[in-house]
Amino acid sequence: MKIANEVLELLKEEIPEIEYNRYIKQLTYDSKNSSDSTVVFYAPNPLITNWIKNKYKDKLEHLFEIKGKKVEVKILEKNTKTTTKKSKSSQEKKKVVNSMLNPSHTFSNFMVGGSNQFAYAAAKSVSEKPGEVYNPLFIYGGVGLGKTHLMQAAGNVLQDRGKNVIYTTVEQFLNDFLRHVRNQTMERFKEKYRKCDVLLIDDIQFLSNKDTIQEEFFHTFEALKTEKKQIILTADKHPKKIGGLEKRLQSRFEWGLVADIQPPELETKIAIIRKKCEINKVKLSDDIINYIATVIESNVREIEGILSKLHAYSQLMHVDITLEFTKQVLKDQIQENRANLTLDTITKVVAKDLNIKPSEIKSKGRSKNIVYARRIAIYLCRELTQNTMPQLAQYFGMKDHTAISHMLKKINELIKNDEDFKTKIEELTNKLTASSQI
């Protein structure tokens, strides 16, 4: 019990206070079902359970390791019973104890869209023929787009087939390396990482400028590749763009297949939110789901937090989740996410999407395509920035704020009556808010 409390106190120092109080504080340690190799915590509902599991499970395990205990941390929903069937083979027991994989990361609950279809297909292919195709598989993209989910989905498939799968982050790999160096047990380190069937490593960009660990990782990579063991890596950027990385490592990361994940389009985000609502038993109307999809940034991981936040607020305040309630709860978050958007940024994005020049949007041109683009740009500038109507009038070269006001009335009528126009507004809002987060 003491070490569990100490670990939670360490975590408290490393994460935002509001997250600790809202989520971590609700964890209950289960001393009865915990052991030398497993630590069990309970959370009060599925939302908080999944949120902590996805965001802080690995961190908790790392903190336990710092305190001298290498354990698997289990975050379970309250009233869920932990049972161990005696009929399990020793190999299955070992697999459960040693696994760092999140069992909820599967291919079946990964929402596929145009932005991630290629990476999904590559990960699926690797899970079917490990070590034979695309080795290594290198997946890159922005924060929270599903890189870890895909990597672990492949890992879960292979682990279920009896493969020895190791999942870790570069930070944990480094800490493990340093610990074994201090303890003069490097043979055990090499045995662990070079004898596995599948090695999954997150955040490979953090190898940057770490010469000693790059050297060790190079030899680990070579040993696994020679034995045709599968390697899957993730990073926030293409290998060529990771500074401070040895050329020999960079070239090896490109040996197999490099697949990127882009911010999801609106339809995919809507599908993700529906799926998350279904998993977490949260009921939201279509207009609320569409609103969240429109304002959510490129970081899809935020969805779990938003649903948890809405659920918690509604429970504590004893109110239904309506659209107005949702807007109020997410107001500060949305303002923060959009803080980096400028009039120039919005105008350039609209111009590029509609294949005209930004200068044409700000001109006096009256052709149909220019008027169409100008209306969209003005509406988005009004909605996504803090600029006043006089400021918008000056920027777009219009007479005064009354001209902007008249234009906005016309635009609102179009949004109400023209479904294509409304869809284009939503698509560009999505694209702009995504780019402001990256």
Question: In the 8-state DSSP scheme, what is residue 397?
Answer: T
Label residue 306 by pLDDT band (50, 70, 90): confident
Cα–Cα distance for residue pair 129/253, rounded to 1 Å: 19
* Type and span of the H or E element at 43: strand 38-43
DSSP-assigned states of every residue in 18-34: HHHHHTGGG-EEETTT-
Cα–Cα distance for residue pair 188/174, rounded to 1 Å: 15
pLDDT of residue 153: 94
Assess whether pLDDT exceeds 80 at residue 339. Answer: no
Residues 5-23 have pLDDT tens digits of 888 988 888 787 777 887 8
pLDDT of residue 16: 76
pLDDT of residue 299: 66
Residues 188-204 have pLDDT tens digits of 899 889 989 999 999 99
pLDDT of residue 226: 93
For the entire predicted model, the pTM comes to: 0.59
Backbone angles phi, psi at 201, to 5 degrees: -130, 125
Label residue 434 by pLDDT band (50, 70, 90): low
pLDDT of residue 125: 95
Cα–Cα distance for residue pair 191/8, rounded to 1 Å: 31
SS3 138: strand
Cα–Cα distance for residue pair 305/51, rounded to 1 Å: 7
Q: How large is the average pLDDT for residues 125-153? A: 91
pLDDT of residue 301: 72
Assess whether pLDDT exceeds 70 at residue 316. Answer: yes
pLDDT of residue 298: 58
pLDDT of residue 216: 92
pLDDT of residue 86: 39
Residue 318 CB-half CA count within 13 A: 0
Label residue 333 by pLDDT band (50, 70, 90): low
Average model confidence (pLDDT) for the chain?
84
Cα–Cα distance for residue pair 34/40, rounded to 1 Å: 5
- Check residues 263 and 93 and name the one with the higher pLDDT: 263
Assess whether pLDDT exceeds 80 at residue 437. Answer: no
Closest listed residue to residue 418, CA positions, set 385, 381, 349, 372: 372
Residues 66-101 have pLDDT tens digits of 888 888 899 988 765 544 443 444 444 444 433 578
Assess whether pLDDT exceeds 60 at residue 387. Answer: yes
DSSP-assigned states of every residue in 326-371: HHHHHHHHHHHHTTT--HHHHHHHHHHHHTS-HHHHTS---SHHHH
Q: What Rg, from alpha-carbon coordinates, does the chain have? A: 25
Residues 25-73 have pLDDT tens digits of 889 998 888 888 889 999 888 778 877 887 888 888 888 888 888 888 9
In the chain, % of residues over pLDDT 90: 31
- How far lies 207's CA from each of 55, 60, 135, 226, in Å? 21, 22, 19, 22
